[in-house]
Structure 1
Amino acid sequence: MVLRQAHHHRRRMGKRSSNMNCIVGVLVLCTIAFQPAHIGVSGLKDMHIKVPEAVRVGDTVTLACDYDLEQVALYTIKWYHHGVEFYRYVPKESPPSLVFNLPSIEVDIYRSNSREVTLRNVHRETSGMFKCEVSADAPLFHTEIRAAHLLVAEVPEDNPVLRTEVHKIAPGANIRANCTTPGSFPPMNITWYINDSKDLPKFVHIEESINRYDALPGLESVRSTIYMRAAQDLFKNGKMKLKCTATMFHLYSKDTQTELIEEAPLMALVMVSTTPSNDGVNTFKFSSATKIRLYLCNYILIYMVFKVISR
């Protein structure tokens, strides 16, 4: 009786184990049968956006979006300016390019495609954040976004203006010079050079300010003032070259320079002692410059006496 029950229990457990194996097998088959087709299929990768750092007002600018779809087809490309879509490319549609009008964006549709969008006649309002959105086709519809900033600059033609209080400097005197840039957007950077070196001495002090004028709406002028004392080692052969350079990205780089002359100290009257005379008394002789001054003084004195007598 006990043996019969044990045998019956083993038969039941065997059937249950067999049923479990069948269930697991069915699940495996279902997993394989219904596995998504995109498993093992390549997709969107290596996506990069290329936007110039800065351009001039009125330029034509091409924005690029590079990507690798490998074996997957492209579904759509979308371009955004400050989060608002302005260009779309859908290869399955005809025509594939679609432009959405924005006040600050002028798309050249004939020079825009699945990887580039070209903007004509850009202006300051075109500046800002641009985004490129790439979507792969079914079954993944894998989507990625990249963003970059574009600056549209107002670039002047004029050189910076350099002014100094005086051009002849007495030794040890204070020197002050101003460098002012023409109006621009954005404001420029100013670099000072002394004798063609921008490594300035520690006692040199520089102050900068940005000025805005009603006559130049939206433009800014930079005024840089340099202060120093006329140290002797700043002058080479009695001269010092002072230069200021104004730059703005790669769009503008111009300089203006001037030359400061070290003023020699006034020559004092010099009397040179000679050897003692025969009578033991030292005699003196004047230098040539002193003799000229004495002659002039005598001439002026005689002239004044003559004027008084003739009255």
Structure 2
Amino acid sequence: MFEFQHLWWLICSIIIIVHPWIVYPDDGGGLRLLEMSVPSLADPRDPLRLSCHFTMGGEELNSVKWYKDEEEFFRYMPLQNPAILTFPVAGVHLRPVIPSSHSHNIYYSNNYNSNNNYHRNGVIGDDKAQLYCSKSHCTIELVNLTRVHSSGAYKCEISSEGPTFRVVFSTTNVTVAAIPKERPRVTGLKAVYHPGDIINVSCMSSPSEPPSTISFLINGKPPPQSGAVSETIHSHPDQDGLVASSATMKIPAEKSLFLGPSSAMELRCVSQIPAVPQIPPHHTALTTIFKSPHSYLSNQTWMEWSKNSGSRNSHIFSLYLISYLMLQIF
């Protein structure tokens, strides 16, 4: 019985000591995390902005910390000197920072290069109002992102000074991928096709990373088996490591593919990145028409026929013209 009471008092003592540290963001008082702004998809060609907004609720700020996959890479402690500490983490390259004249604010310099050389004596640019840490929010930027090493779970953690020692945090998963900047480009499609023609088209995507895959749709459906679609081919990486993708399609110009009174066919090229499903597909749609043998007669032929017919056969010409127009429609 004595051992049980001793264990009980030990558990109660631990709870009393630990309780001030266990705080939820929406408890209604003291330190609260208002918003964490981190995109779920980041383009390696652009800086990645991470931002946390919070309210101290009358408490004193101890620190703001940023983590990637539970590894701390940035710490802001306004009551310490230096106020900022950074830690090396794979795939994380912070935009250089310079101290400001304000005691509780740290601003970020616009002056950096691809070699990560810090320009601490540079002039702070127009982004000064958005890029800083204070007692109400902390915004940082990452540069030189890579898909493999910079993707991951980014966490913002804010803590207050004693006696409460509150801790609040939020986490967002970030995927780094180079999104195609333009729609895919279709070449080789003619304005008009006739019986016996071959539809021979190519489609190329805008550079991306991971590479795109190319597919074709005819009137919203996959091409018929009578056609041949090549495998997607990838180009050599460009200076940014991005790859363009291309594919070709050859298919007989069959009358059944051209629909409606105008005998039109819609060809659509679809470029998508299966490895990153949150990137929507990119489409390019073009329309072509089909003309049967009776439409080969040119306007010049009609004019010559009408001229040679004379007034005596004008009514025959009119009937022939009406028949011709009806065939074009039906």
After superposition, give the CA deviation of every residue in 1:140-159 in whole Å (9 maximum; x if it has no partner). Answer: 22223321123343355565
2:78 corresponding residue in structure 1: 91
Q: C-alpha distance in 1, partners of 2:183/2:221? A: 26
Q: 2:87 — aligned with what?
A: 100
Query: Among 65, 73, 82, which residue is 1:78 paired with?
Result: 65
Q: Larger radius of gyration, structure 1 or 2?
A: 1
Q: 1:240 aligns with which of 255, 258, 265?
A: 265
Question: How many angstroms apart in 2 are the aligned matches of 1:214 and 1:41?
Answer: 55
Q: CA deviation at 1:68?
A: 3.4
**Alpha carbons of structure 1 residues 63 and 138: separation in structure 2 relative to 1, 3 Å:** same
Counterpart check, 1:54 vs 2:73: no
Aligned to 1:183: 207
| 8 Å Cα contact 1:172-1:230 kept in structure 2 | no
Pairing of 1:91-240 with structure 2 (within 5 A)? 91-102=78-89, 104=91, 105-109=93-97, 110=107, 111-114=131-134, 115-124=137-146, 125-155=149-179, 159-163=183-187, 168-169=192-193, 178-188=202-212, 200=220, 211-215=233-237, 219-222=242-245, 230-231=255-256, 234-235=259-260, 237-240=262-265
Report the equivalent of 2:113.
none
Say which is worse superposed, 237-246 or 128-137, in terms of deviation.
Answer: 237-246
Please say which of residues 69-78 and 157-166 is displaced more in the overlay: 157-166
Whole-angstrom distance in 2 between the partners of 1:113 and 1:191: 47
DSSP-derived class of the 2:133 partner:
coil
1:168–1:147: structure 2 CA closer, same or farther, 3 Å change rule? Answer: same
Deviation, structure 1 residue 87: 0.8
Contact 2:184/2:283 (<8 A) preserved: yes
Question: Which structure carries more strand by proportion?
Answer: 1
Secondary structure at 2:206's aligned position in 1?
Answer: coil
What amino acid does structure 2 have at the position aligned with 1:261?
Answer: I
Q: Decide which of 32, 46, 67 is 1:45's aligned counterpart.
A: 32
Deviation at 1:76, TM superposition (A): 1.2
Q: What is the CA RMSD across the aligned residues, in angstroms?
A: 4.8
TM-superposed deviation, 1:88? 0.4
Distance 2:28 2:289 in 1: 76
Higher relative contact order (CA 8 A, sep 6+): 2
How many percent of aligned residue pairs carry the same amino acid?
A: 23
Total equivalences in the alignment? 233
CA–CA separation in structure 2 for the residues paired with 1:208 and 1:260: 21
Whether contact under 8 Å (1:156, 1:182) holds in the other structure is: yes
Distance 1:230 1:201, change over 3 A: farther
Give the deviation of 1:213 after TM superposition.
4.5
Task: Give me the whole-angstrom Cα distance separating, in 2, the residues matched to 1:163 and 1:138.
Answer: 68
Shift of 1:218: 5.4
Quote the offset at 1:59 in angstroms: 2.2
Partners of 2:234 and 2:246 within 8 A in 1: no
What TM-score, normalized by structure 2, do the two folds share? 0.52
How far off its partner does 1:113 sit? 0.9
SS at match of 1:75: strand
Aligned counterparts of 1:61 and 1:70: Cα–Cα separation in 2: 29
Give the equivalent residue in structure 2 for 1:308.
Answer: none
**Shift in CA distance, 146/35, structure 1 to aligned 2, threshold 3 Å:** closer
State whether residues 264 and 287 of structure 2, in contact with CA within 8 Å, keep that contact through their aligned partners in structure 1.
Answer: yes
SS in 2 for 1:234: coil
